[in-house]
Amino acid sequence: MNSFYYYNPTKLVFGKDSVSKMGNYIPKDVKKILLHYGKDSIKRSGLYDEVIEILKNNKIEVIELSGVEPNPKVSLVREGVKICKDNNIDFILAVGGGSVIDSAKAISAGVYYEKDVWELFTEGIELKRALPLGVILTLPATGSESSSATIVTNEETLQKLGLESDLLRPKFALLNPELTLTLPNKQTFAGIVDILSHVMERYFTNTTDVELTDNLCEGTMRAVISNAYKLLDNPNDYGARAEIMLSGTIAHSGILGLGREEDWASHRIGHEITALYGTTHGVTLSIVLPAWMKYVYKENIDRFVRFAKFVFHVDSNDKTNEEIALLGIEKFEGFLKDIKIPIRLKEEGIPYDDFNTMAEKCTGSGSIGRFVKLSKEDVVKILEMAK
């Protein structure tokens, strides 16, 4: 096990009545809030009215910034930063999924940075201060509701980059699984792939003496998979929605990676696909992860044997390690097919002529990934396998 530092002070408020308790969790000295959200879906569901009512009752002035799109754009972030500075906003409330939360986090990071907020993403500048934010989650997927990270797209340079700091962990996350009952299947299951991917990026490691977190990772993956099948049968299953919502938070809270070297190559490759083609984040992962697995499994086959046995219940009798490992990957692909999420580039209509560009952009002058270090050439081969 490696040394680590871990700090996650996000207050989790979970259950059907969580939003109604919001007044208890907004710091007492907050006077003016930026309400940040996506489209009109929170108005249709009644959530918007409930939030406005609570803020009014708490005598908090509200300035709104809506219009966050999937893969949040730095242009809207810049607009948010300007609004916060011009209006002395003292708290940001993000209502939505991971894109809204990531956009809010980027705004919160930008408010106290004297230059352009995008520099924080490109220059690796350590964040010194951030505006506090809170979250009402409507889509379990990114785990951004308690994570330290935000990922934003620059639509001019076609870069999708991340920024990480404990200052970006929300003060509170209100988690009401009922809000997810009406999600379209595609969002539910792309979210589920994202959740699984957050576990996998931590699970595939060469760090030894990590049996505890191995077990926690495997247990989380099994719970996500089994509840995904419950939601395939019945999207109105509150219990399964609750399990998926909590899994999403745990998966990216940091707990599952304690003391482990993490990989994150698949995310980096996926970001390049999104940057060029706007592909849904979870879908880029269902395309990249199986190809990545097939490319790297021989480097530490024991780990893939574990994955097959303890996540997908592969019976290891009379099989070689290679057969077991490959069966695990096959079962993972089978699961992705069952939940009807694309697993090949062609299913998304993505052409094959930009592999070099994508590989070059994500590896830069070095390599990506830690389970196996991947060069530009490796990334091209993985994309070839994902055709």
Q: Is 233 in the site for a copy of itself (CB under 8 A)?
A: no
Contact region for a copy of itself (CB under 8 A) — 33-41, 60-68, 232-240, 360-368? 232-240
Give least dist CB 245 to a copy of itself, A: 9
Q: Could you tell me which residues are beta bridge partners of residue 96? A: 137
**Among candidates 163, 271, 263, which has minimal Cα distance to 217?**
263
Q: DSSP letter string over 214-260?
A: HHHHHHHHHHHHHHHHHHHH-TT-HHHHHHHHHHHHHHTTSGGGTT-
Q: Does 6 bind a copy of itself (CB under 8 A)?
A: yes
Look at residue 159 and give its three-state secondary structure.
strand
Burial class of residue 194 (count of CB atoms within 10 Å of its CB; 0-12, 13-18, 19+): buried
CB contact at 8 A, 250 and 220:
yes
User: CB neighbours of 46 closer than 8 A, spacing ≥ 6?
Assistant: none
When asked if residue 222 is in the footprint of a copy of itself (CB under 8 A), the reply is yes
By CB under 8 A, which span of 57-65, 182-190, 207-215, 289-297 interacts with a copy of itself? 207-215
Q: Does the footprint of a copy of itself cover residue 132 (CB under 8 A)?
A: no
State CA 300 to chain mean position distance. 26
Q: Of 256 and 287, which CB lies nearer to a copy of itself in the complex structure? A: 256
What character string, x for contact with a copy of itself (CB under 8 A) and - otherwise, covers 235-274?
---xxx-xx--xx--x----x--xx---------------
Q: Given the rule CB under 8 A, which of 36-44, 66-74, 101-109, 205-213 is the region that contacts a copy of itself?
A: 205-213
Based on the shown chain and the rule CB under 8 A, indicate whether residue 215 belongs to the binding site for a copy of itself. Answer: yes
The verdict on 229 binding a copy of itself (CB under 8 A) reads no
Q: Is 227 in the site for a copy of itself (CB under 8 A)?
A: yes
Task: Please say whether the beta carbons of 370 and 262 come within 8 A.
Answer: yes
Choose, by CB under 8 A, the member of 167, 219, 354, 381 that binds a copy of itself: 219
Least Å distance, CB 4 to a copy of itself, is 5
113: contact with a copy of itself by CB under 8 A: no
Binder among 88, 208, 317, 365 for a copy of itself (CB under 8 A): 208
Residue 15 as a binder of a copy of itself (CB under 8 A): the answer is yes
**C-alpha dist (Å) from residue 96 to 150, 243, 245, 308:** 14, 19, 13, 34
Among the listed residues 53, 209, 377, 384, the single contact to a copy of itself using CB under 8 A = 209
Q: DSSP assignment of 97-141, as one string?
A: SHHHHHHHHHHHHHTT-SS-THHHHHS-PPP-----EEEEESS-S
Amino acid residing at 228: A
Residues linked to residue 62 through DSSP beta bridges, in sequence order: 33
**Cβ–Cβ < 8 Å for 328, 307:** yes
Site string for a copy of itself, 17-46 (x = CB under 8 A): xx----------------------------
The structure tokens listed for 385 are 């396998």
User: Could you say whether residue 99 binds a copy of itself (CB under 8 A)?
Assistant: no
Length of the chain: 387
Please tell me whether residue 180 binds a copy of itself under the rule CB under 8 A: no
- The one among 57, 87, 182, 226 contacting a copy of itself by CB under 8 A: 226
CB of 108 to a copy of itself, least distance (A): 18
Is 1 one of the binding residues for a copy of itself (CB under 8 A)? yes
Point out which residues bind a copy of itself (CB under 8 A). 1-18, 208-216, 218-220, 222-224, 226-227, 238-240, 242-243, 246-247, 250, 255, 258-259
